[in-house]
Amino acid sequence: MRILHTMIRVGDLDKSLAFYTDVLGMRLLRRNDYPEGKFTLAFVGYQEEADGAVLELTYNWGVDKYEIGTGYGHIALAVDDAYAACAEIKARGGKVTRDAGPMKGGTRVIAFVEDPDGYKIELIQRS
């Protein structure tokens, strides 16, 4: 078994696709509209779906906002340099909510960014 994808609901698919591709550097792997179900699925990631886990962005037509809830935590991405990644994300118009630095009580360097819907993404610097 392996993880295939993580699904999150988004309120503005174009804005979310721009964030994940232009700001975080993922690729749009596939996008399908389902007119009878009134939703669109877009899959983004750094590698092909056959090679690793990806994100499924689900846009339900006519729904422009969701409550994230208290059960959601974050998506984690490995980066070579969290400080440089934060600078690049800011330069691309992304929102950094916790600048790069050692995690509380530890030495691992982390940072947090937020997508257009408010989902948190943790950047973890490779050691």
Q: Which residues are catalytic?
A: 122
Distance separating alpha carbons of residues 58 and 95, to the nearest angstrom: 21
Of 12, 120, 22, whose CA–CA distance to 59 is shortest?
Answer: 12
Beta-strand relationship, 27-34 and 120-125: unpaired
Query: Dihedral of the CA atoms 71, 77, 81, 86 (nearest 10)?
Result: -60
Q: Are 43 and 49 in contact (CB under 8 A)?
A: yes
With H, G, I as helix, E, B as strand and everything else as coil, classify residue 68: coil
